[in-house]
Amino acid sequence: MKPYIYITRKLPEETIVELTEQFEVKMWEHEDIPAPREVLLAEAKKASGMITMLSDKIDEELLSAGENLKVVANLAVGFDNINLKSATERGIVVSNTPDVLTETTADLTFALLMAAARRIVEAADYIKAGKWEGWSPYLLAGHDVYGKTIGIVGMGKIGKAVARRANGFGMDILYHNRSRKPEAEKELGAVYSSFEDLVSKADYVVSLAPLTDETRNLFTADVFAKMKKSAIFINVGRGPVVDEQALYEALKSGEIAAAGLDVFEKEPISTEHPLLELSNVTAIPHIGSASTETRTKMIKLCCTNVKAVLTGDSPKTIVNKEVIQ
């Protein structure tokens, strides 16, 4: 009997051929609607492998239900949706998709920064609404990017890729990270800074930090109060690193100038969320790695990892390496 694999979203058939040629594969029927909890639990009981999304809660209950489960391949770099301790205790391999999405996510980060700085979405809505009746010197005037200071919180691979783009705009680069990155300092001219100094000096504060106990609610009212009034806050990392009510108050009061947000505390964000009422917020639906080429690479990497585990090989990108040691 072939091992059974469950995929929690509908993916293009051509991207999962590596699995369908060798295993029994079933996908959830929708691309944009999450599989209900009861479906995930039922499928986990039967599956030898699962390909999951960041929005899927792979917790103790689900993992304990997976009596035959050997591998969970998360279609993301992050894996805070998975109870890693529980998976490891059960000998279940957890894999993710680093590297393949670095440049695409950096592109999106810088695009969001520029859109927020130059009020691109606001300007597009303005013209579509038929409001453009003439020219004035400060019509939809935004903020320069060239020559300004960017502060990157989380100098991992994506952070470095964003810094390379900032170099092209002649920006001064500050960064804060759990550990210093001498190679980034040498190659990119990035300057290590304390978190407090970074948020007070940067014109653009870019959060690319992972979600940990230390980073949850890292950006509070006190932090926003330390930023320049002209500062623009960008978050393409994790939503829960931000106190969203504090961000709303800072934006509404003019304590900071604008924000560009790709991630939120709860996703999908409610259309009633107060942040969406503000014209100085550019909000997009967690599309950091959403290019056709990159998403295809991510899916294929997940498939390769699942196949490797189920055929006795080592996966390319394993999170809990101790499982196979």
Residue 267 a catalytic site member: yes
d(CA 137, CA 99): 44
Q: How far apart are CA 59 and CA 224, in angstroms?
A: 33
Q: In what order do the strands lie in the sheet with 258-261?
A: 191-192, 172-176, 149-153, 204-207, 232-235, 258-261, 281-283
238 is catalytic: yes
- Please pick, among 43, 238, 255, 295, the residue that the annotation labels catalytic: 238
**CB atoms closer than 10 angstroms to residue 46:** 16
Residue bearing tokens 């300092």: 185
Residue 77 makes CB contacts below 8 A (sequence gap 6+) with 96, 97, 98, 101
- The CA dihedral of 288, 293, 295, 296, to the nearest 10 degrees, is -170
- 286 is a catalytic site residue: yes
The catalytic position among 13, 60, 267, 277 is 267
What are phi and psi for residue 301, nearest 5 degrees?
Answer: -65, -40
Pairwise CA distance, residues 288 & 108, whole Å: 6
DSSP string, 169-227: TT-EEEEE-SS--HHHHHHH--EE--HHHHHHH-SEEEE-PPP-TTTTT-B-HHHHHHS
Looking at 9, 119, 165, 286, which residue is catalytic? 286
Those residues whose C-beta lies under 8 Å from the C-beta of residue 54, and which sit 6 or more positions away, are 74, 75, 76, 78, 80, 81
Q: Which residues are catalytic?
A: 238, 267, 286
